[in-house]
Amino acid sequence: MSSKLILVADDAAFMRKLIRMTLAETGLTDIVEASDGDEAVTIYKEKHPDLVLLDITMVRKNGLEALQEIMDYDPMAKVIMCSAIGQEQTVMSALTIGAVDYVVKPFEKDKLIETVQGLL
């Protein structure tokens, strides 16, 4: 499974590192990072990752805006939204736009791994 490219988009560097370390435990090490929604869309279009983990709350372009652009570009994109507790309405909007699943931060390590592996 290590040949799968994953894009992790979150404006918090510690969260990107935590997700990267969690996925590395399962052999998923081909990971690119974006620090905001604009960068996530650009990287998606350049690298065509197999899966995207996209934070909802980011600077410059939020996760919903980035998700919409990614889905407009590639309707088959696999995007998992990362949300904080209390963002249920936003998560529902993301699922309507085309996100395939979501994880709630702070996430449970096993839930994140299960969700990612289930989509790859």
Residues 6+ apart with CB under 8 A from 71: 77, 79, 97, 98
Evaluate if residue 43 carries a pLDDT over 60.
yes
How much is the pLDDT for 45? 98
- pLDDT tens, residue by residue, 15-36: 999 999 999 999 999 999 999 9
Q: Which domains does the chain have, with CATH numbers?
A: 6-119 (3.40.50.2300)
Helix (H) or strand (E) holding 65: helix 63-73
For residue 1, pLDDT over 60 is answered with: no
Amino acid 60: pLDDT: 85
Rounded Cα distance between 97 and 94, Å, is 5
Instruction: Check residue 2 and give its pLDDT.
Output: 46
Model pLDDT for residues 62-118, shown as the tens digit of each residue: 999 999 999 999 999 999 999 887 778 888 999 999 999 999 888 889 999 999 999
